Structures are given as structure tokens and as C-alpha cells.
Structure 1
């Protein structure tokens, strides 16, 4: 494995889209702590104070932080956001539960293309995209064994809006860089279900599961099996993916080692960490079949070293308690 880390790691300008989110705030903190000059895109200036508070919780000095305003739904602002940047981390994604899938698919796809077009015009060297296992393994196959060669088919009957959006957006990104010889290098990170400590002062996305289980409010869970990964390990993979030469043009599945988990198993770990006697029942349905997801490529090429699931869940509960989000 070769890397240009020493050559490039000299206080260059790096952009993080959606840097005030769950993953984006951890990534922004890691970059600042590594000596990078970080610019973050926000949809509204009202979100800046929350971001700076999150960075303070991580112990990051925000003196080199810049704020740019841009939205996934518009091309406005992206040229200024990427100007002078060596690397762009495209983390931002719509996180809503729509009645019409297009409400998520269109901004996810168009947002990725807004970022890539602006990056190409500005001469950005590399774009690291936060995609998802949702773009890899949500189309049924006889044996549920997944590598980076697998793709979710957006035409899969009954496919929910989120995996459809992540698949369409990632496909659009690869199509873009294949179309233009002068496009930035593209790396796609495809994490499974993300947990881990929160820096933001509200429970968002996957953290709502832990909040509901720890508080005892969530008492019924679906019969489903999935992989899990620590948010800090995903942030570390983003940092590594900036400079590993072999990563250009590659996808990387990110998840903790060990067998995949059911919601019931996650609930047990949350209840243990929260010292609660709460219990859950599984919703009716078929038992989930075995699921294998491979993280070998990330380990070999990005030096990915995931935390154990039990540690991630325990520290997620502790952080939610510290933030006052659970009792």
C-alpha cells in the first residue's frame, strides 16, 4: 500500500459537506485535529453555533474552520464552497421520511452532481463520497454474502426511499467521473448502520434507535439482521481515503468485525449499557437469513480497524446520557 500522506498533509484546504451532522461533525473534528484547514457547508448560518459546540465536545480547535452556505437542492454556492480545496468529503444527504421517494432521491442525486461539477471546475483532486451499504445489499440474492462488487437495484420492488436514494446518488457519481477525463478521483465509502458517541446536542438518524431502546419507549423491533459500524471509524476511513493512491475509483464497505446483528441483539446490548430492565419483542415475520458483509478491502487498503460492537454501543449510550438525551 502506498500513500502520499506526508506530501499532502500540510494544512491544505478540505471541504466537508453536511459537516454539522452526526458523521460530518466527527469527520470535521478529525480533520482539524490532523492540521487540515477545513471548510464546511451548511444549509443555514443558524447551524454554525451548534457545529462549533460539537467540535468543542470533540476537543477540536475550530480556529481554522470556515463556513460556506450551500444546499443539495441548488447549484448556488458550490463553486465558492469548493474553491481552493484539494479534497472534498461529500457527506451531506437528505434524511427525511417522504411520502414520495423522489423527495429524497432527487436531492441526493442532484446534490452529488452539484458537488462533483463544482469540484471538476475547481480542479479538486479527489472526492470522498459517503454512500452506504444501502447501495450495496438491498436487492435480495439467494445467499446474502456481500462485497463491494454488489449493487442494490433501484428498481427492486418495495425498495424504501433511503436505499433507493443512496444507490441512485452513488451511481450518478460514478457515471460522472467516468464521463469526464478531468473529473476528480472518486472514492466511495459504504458504511453499514452507524452508531457511536454523538457530538451534536440532538439524537439524529440511527441514534434515535438507541435513545428509544435505552429509554424503554421502543418495545417492538423488526426481525432484521444488519452490520454495524462506529461513527468514529467511518470518520477515520474518510481521512485515510483522502490520500491512499489505490483508493481512487474504489468502493469500501465499512462495518465492525464479527457476525451481523439483529435488532433484538442490539437492544440487549443497549439495555445492558443503560442498566435498564426494559425488554423488547420482535414484530411478526420471517426469521432473517444469515448475512455476511465483507470489510477486507477497507482493512487492507485503508488500514481500517473497527471498534468492537459492544464498545460502540456502550459509548453511544454514555454520550446520549451525557448530552441529556436519555435519563
Structure 2
């Protein structure tokens, strides 16, 4: 990788974005971070302190809102690469789909158009496995060739927003022809957290460890470490063969929520009595999902075990992700370092 180039990062206060900024600075790049309003710089600097990264004079900020057209030309000035991570991710379901679909789609188009106008050769965009594998296939095998049908019955609004935003981005790039796009489609992102913003996946591990989830729905999904997601973005940022391609980020075989609890029980025996002890069958999940939005994802998956390929990222970009167990353990360890305690207060063995 070339050093001293300026990389524009959107969504730097999020889980992936904060790790991206830290990794870029460690590798000698300059990072320009977009914030929606002045004052958010403190969040980014706080995450870098936690990561023990000293930016010196290689960190810049630009005020630019995904929901508005102002600020993007200035943000792109002198930029060599763009990592577009920002996208709405609500912790509770929105009242209407458009609350997610419109800002996700329009924000992606705004970033790519601004990069094109500034002469940036390539944008690497964070999409999601939600845009790949949430329409049932008879063989349950999924690769980058697959797309979630946005009209899939019961598809959550977030998943629909990722499909429509990514499709719009590809259509724009194909129509213009003078800017490259590479897309990363991560499965469930876990691992150590640098910032303080809530993360649904990390919150899931915390809820398990603190006894808030005595039972879990039957649900299998892919897992990937946030550090490996960032590594894949940076590879796609500079590799000649990444242009015009999408890459699934998944560590390996799909895991169930109950399987995740087993990993936590094995590595954190002090929490054994608090971890989920039963698994809801799919019939109960479907019924409960009618009134509980948090279970709609599990109901959509229907208890199937997806086989998710990471072969393309491995063979084209040389990507080598961590083992799932290592990632889940690192997630829990991070929560304990940040002050999570068990009810009995004994975390000495953790």
C-alpha cells in the first residue's frame, strides 16, 4: 500500500469506521473523517485513544451530512481513496421503511457522485450480507452472485435498505463508467469495540453474559471479526482485481445463537449460569415474531443453516479471517475491559 495518501472515511464513529481510521493511521495513511456536525470529532479521537493510536497531524475532519448535498466537494478535495461505511442502523425497528431506505440509498449515491466529481478512482462501500442471503434458496448456499429479493415476505426494513442502496450504487457506477466501486458484504460483525456507540451484535453478547437472554431463537448466521472486515476493505481499496466486485466477509461456517452461548460458557465459566439454557423452536419463533420485531430476522431465516462462501475474498484478495471462537471471545473480553461485571461480581477467572 502507498503511504501518506488521504483516505476519506464515512461512519467513523461506528464499529467498522472507528477500526478503519485506526488501521489507516497505523499504516501511515492520512485519514479525513466526515462528521454530520462539529463536536463529533471527540468520539473519533476517543476511539483512537482506546486503540492506542496517536494520529499526530494525519487526522482531519470534514463536516458533511449524508442527508444533504453540502460539504461533500470540500470533503473529497485531495482524497485518493474513499471508504463509505456510514448507513442508518436503528436499534429499534423504524415506523416506515423509508426512514432507512431513503438515507441509505441517497447517502451512498451522494458519496459516490462526490468522489466521481473529485476524480477519486474508486469507492469501497460497506453493504451487508443482508443484501445477499435473506431470500431462501433450496440448497442454502450463498455467494456474491446472490441477491436478497427486497420483496421477500417479512424482510426487515434494514435488510431492504441494504439491498436497495447497494443496487443503486452499482447502477450509478455502471451508468457513469468513470469511477470504480468495490463492495464488502459482512455477515454479523463482532469483535472488540473502540467507541462507545451501541452495537447490536456486541449488545447481543453482553445480553447473553448478563442473563438477559435465558432462551434464544433457533437462528444460524455468519460471523466475522470487525478487524477482518476492515482488513478486507483496505485490500479492496488498492487491489486491481477488486474493481467492480463485491466480497462477502464471513469467518467460516454459520453458527447458531446457542452455539455462541456454548463458546462463551467454555471461555467464561463464571457466566455459565447466566447464559442461554434453551433454544426456541422455529414454530414458536414465527409466532412470537408477529408481535416482537426483534425476532423477525430469525423468522425470516426459518431456522435454516446458510452455507456462506468466503472463497472469493480469499482467492482474489488473499484475505484470511480469524476463527469464529476467537472473535466471540474478543467481543466478551472487550465488554469486561469496559466495565461489564457479572451479578456475583466475580470476574477474576475471565
Q: TM-score, normalised by structure 2?
A: 0.88
Equivalent residue, structure 2, for 1:125: 121
RMSD: 1.4
What corresponds to 1:312 in structure 2? 327
Are the aligned partners of 1:203 and 1:325 in contact in 2 as well (CA < 8 Å)?
no
Measure how far apart 1:202 and its partner are: 4.3
Say yes or no: does 1:83 pair with 2:83. no
Task: Give the 3 Å change call, closer, same or farther, for CA 75–59 of structure 1 in structure 2.
Answer: same
Q: Which aligned pairs between 1:176-215 and structure 2 lie closer than 5 A?
A: 176-182=172-178, 184-215=179-210
Helix, strand or coil for the counterpart of 1:41?
strand
Residue equivalent to 1:134: 130
Which of 17, 22, 30 aligns to 1:24? It is 17
2:254 pairs with 1:239: no
Q: Deviations over 1:205-228 (max 9, x none)?
A: 211101111111122322111100
> Which residue is 1:270 aligned to?
264
CA-CA distance at 1:274 after TM superposition = 3.5
Q: State how far apart, in whole Å, the 2-side matches of 1:37 and 1:181 are.
A: 28
Corresponding position of 1:282: 279
- Provide, for residues 150-193 of structure 1, a one-character-per-residue CA deviation record: whole Å limited to 9, x for no partner: 001111121101110110000010001001022x2100001100
8 Å CA contact 2:221–2:306 kept in 1: the answer is yes
Q: Report the 3-state secondary structure (helix = DSSP H, G, I; strand = E; otherwise coil) of the residue aligned with 1:46.
A: coil
SS at match of 1:23: helix
Extract structure 1 runs of 4+ deviating beyond 4 A.
none
Q: Distance in 1 between matches of 2:340 and 2:243?
A: 39
CA-CA distance at 1:52 after TM superposition: 0.7
Q: Give the 3-state SS of the residue equivalent to 2:207 in structure 1.
A: helix
What is the aligned partner in structure 1 of residue 98 from structure 2?
Answer: 102
Which stretches in structure 2 are left out of the alignment for 5+ residues? 284-301, 343-350
1:225-261: CA deviation from partner (whole Å, max 9, x where unpaired): 110000000011111111110000001011112x211
Residue by residue over 1:256-303, the C-alpha shift from the partner in whole angstroms, topping out at 9 and shown as x without a partner, is: 12x211111112223333431223232342572332000001011222
Find the residue that maps to 2:9 and give its secondary structure: strand
Select 1:115's aligned residue among 105, 111, 114.
111
Displacement of 1:148 after TM fit? Answer: 0.4
1:47: Cα distance to partner? 2.1
Whole-Å separation in 2 of the counterparts to 1:102 and 1:77: 24
Name the residue aligned to 2:250: 255
* Distance (Å, rounded) in 2 between the aligned partners of 1:23 and 1:193: 12
The answer to whether the 8 A contact 1:193-1:229 is kept is yes
1-structure distance, mates of 2:125, 2:107: 11
Q: What SS does the corresponding residue of 2:200 show, helix, strand or coil?
A: coil
Cα separation, 2, equivalents of 1:295 and 1:202: 28
Q: Secondary structure at the match of 2:282?
A: coil
**Is the alpha carbon distance of 1:241 and 1:124 closer, same or farther for their aligned partners in structure 2, counting shifts above 3 Å?**
same
SS state of the match for residue 42, structure 2?
Answer: helix
My pick for the range that moved more, 86-95 or 73-82, is: 73-82
* Separation (CA, whole Å) in 2 of partners of 1:158 and 1:21: 27
5+ residue gaps in structure 1? none
Q: How does 1:285-304 map to 2 (within 5 A)?
A: 285-286=282-283, 288-304=303-319
Distance 2:37 2:151 in 1: 34
Deviation at 1:203, TM superposition (A): 3.7
